[in-house]
A and B are shown apart, each in its own frame.
Chain A
Amino acid sequence: MNWTITKNLPWQQMDGKVLILNTGENKAHELNEVASEVWLLITQDKTLEEINTEIQKAYDIDSDTAKEDVDELIKEFKELKLLV
């Protein structure tokens, strides 16, 4: 799976949660804890495999579950036009 972060997309984190302003769509998204974690890994240019491993470790889940969750989140980020 390939992606890049949408150009000029403002975001920030506070208290473990990420806020993203999708200015093109005039929308703001506050991500939950797992989604925030995945977003932060994406912004650190981690590969899909690295993200899966990090999430698996952080939440003590099996690799298939981690992979499914991360895939789902990335799909959602794309639908929300946060990633292209």
Chain B
Amino acid sequence: MAELLEKWRALSTQNFTPLQASLELTFRCNERCQHCYIDDFRDDPDRVLSLDQWREILDKLREAGTLYLILMGGEAMLNKHFWEILEYSSKLGFYNSMISNGLLIKDLETAKRLKDNGLHRITFSLYSLDEDIHDTLTQVRGSFRTTMRALQFCREAGIIVSVNCLLTKLNIHTVYKLIDWCIEENLEIREDPIVTPGFNGKTDILELRASRAQLLEYYRERARRWPHSLKKDKKSNGDDYICNVGKGKCAITPYGELLTCIDVRVSLGSLVENSFDELWLSKEANSWRNIKVKDVEGASDCSNPCELCPAMSLTEEGDRHKLTKNDAELEFIKGQVRHEFSIE
């Protein structure tokens, strides 16, 4: 099964078919995460979409070839049409997943309703098993307990559950316990070592990035547990794309604007007012999707050149064809750990 899905993913990248679309259903949120890239947790009332407009967007994505939908935000469930959108999306045949803090999943009944309406998978943002640390990051007291309860409700309802943990200087030292717990509970966990800059280029949240010493410790622990995870990708000849931006994935903002990736905050235009192809085949979209390893100075020496992010380069270095200082720093850290553990 994994092989078949991988084949479809590869094909979608090749064909520029947006097999996966992230839908930001709202910027509103019931948490106030210190690290969040959203700068204003409000929707412009003049620009929010009606239910019919969301349905129209889903029809267009379906036509464009999308299979996987990732509902997010903000907190997706705060969109007043959330349930109708989910129901319609299931009717059209999408695979629905959601990234959530779970604060609105307060009982088993709600979790069952999500399952019944076609939510196949939910990823909870969990920052630590230490309640204080989690709540300090989300800036909502009690959020850890509510998220953990929601996670159990969703498992009980039969939804596939996984965990996302952004690593910051405040929680990185506690991630090992979280990983062990996820293994014990048979939950997939994805750790993300990079705090991205905020929308509108806001960089103050970058101060939350883990320090070199913390990241060295993190990668050493990974090397002890899973040495293969630090292996370099096979050397690129330069013609590989640096990421999947504008190819096998796309994103939609709460106002219905089409993006080449959720991290690239350059609107291709309104998907309510335009056809998908008009926007997707535009010059702007091409300029993002065609960036190759050879176009980014120093990228071919990176251990994972196809995971570089041109949006971060643009915000942090003012040029999407430049490696960020943070990329270089991570490369240095991983290189040092590979050397210490004799990983090729």
**In the complex, which residue of chain B has the Cβ closest to the Cβ of A5?**
B93
Interface of B is mostly: mixed
Q: Which residues of B contact A43 (CB under 8 A)?
A: 93
Q: Which residues of A contact B5 (CB under 8 A)?
A: 28
Q: Interface size on B (CB < 8 Å)?
A: 22
Expressed in whole angstroms, the Cα–Cα distance for A28 and B4 within the complex equals 7
Contact B1 A15 (CB under 8 A): no
Contact of B120 among A10, A11, A15, A28 (CB under 8 A): A10
Q: Interface size on A (CB < 8 Å)?
A: 17
Expressed in whole angstroms, the Cα–Cα distance for A43 and B12 within the complex equals 22
Expressed in whole angstroms, the Cα–Cα distance for A23 and B62 within the complex equals 19
B19, chain A: closest CB distance, angstroms: 7
Q: Which residues of A contact B62 (CB under 8 A)?
A: 12
Contact A21 B95 (CB under 8 A): yes
Q: Which residues of B contact A7 (CB under 8 A)?
A: 90, 118
B22 CB–A CB distance under 8 Å: no
B17 CB–A CB distance under 8 Å: yes
Expressed in whole angstroms, the Cα–Cα distance for A66 and B233 within the complex equals 49
Contact B1 A12 (CB under 8 A): no
Contact B17 A14 (CB under 8 A): yes
B193 CB–A CB distance under 8 Å: no
Expressed in whole angstroms, the Cα–Cα distance for A10 and B117 within the complex equals 12
Expressed in whole angstroms, the Cα–Cα distance for A13 and B93 within the complex equals 11
Q: Which residues of B contact A11 (CB under 8 A)?
A: 67, 93
* 28 A-B residue pairs with CB within 8 Å: A8-B90, A8-B118, A10-B93, A10-B95, A10-B96, A10-B120, A11-B67, A11-B93, A12-B19, A12-B66, A12-B67, A14-B15, A14-B17, A14-B19, A14-B65, A19-B4, A19-B8, A19-B67, A21-B67, A23-B95, A23-B160, A26-B1, A27-B1, A28-B1, A28-B4, A30-B4, A30-B8, A43-B93
